[in-house]
């Protein structure tokens, strides 16, 4: 992922195309935020697991915890 960013990928979509991130079983729900954080988007950390979450009010759901809940 870092290489793709260093190579000039500036958005999650571009990083996804270069690395395939976001196309795996989690659909980018877990790693998408990490990529966005690397791209310099503001993030906060999940109170439960410490995973980075987008700081946008509309996106303040921890993808990692959500995924774990869905897995059951």
Residues in the site for Zn ion, rule: CB under 5 A? 46, 48-49, 51, 62, 64-65
Q: How far is the CB of 35 from Zn ion (least distance, A)?
A: 17
Identity of the residue, 22 or 63, whose beta carbon is nearer to Zn ion in the bound complex: 63
**Long-range pairs of 42-49 with CB within 8 A, sequence gap ≥ 24:** none
Q: How far is the CB of 55 from Zn ion (least distance, A)?
A: 14
Q: How far is the CB of 22 from Zn ion (least distance, A)?
A: 19
Q: Is 17 exposed, middle or buried (0-12, 13-18, 19+ CB in 10 A)?
A: middle
């Amino acid at each position: 992922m870092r290489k793709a960013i260093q190579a000039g990928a500036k958005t999650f979509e571009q990083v996804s195309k270069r690395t395939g991130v976001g196309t795996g079983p989690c659909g980018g729900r877990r790693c998408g935020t990490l990529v966005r954080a690397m791209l310099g988007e503001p993030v906060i950390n999940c109170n439960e697991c410490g995973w980075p979450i987008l700081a946008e009010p509309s996106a303040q759901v921890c993808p990692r915890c959500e995924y774990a809940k869905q897995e059951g």
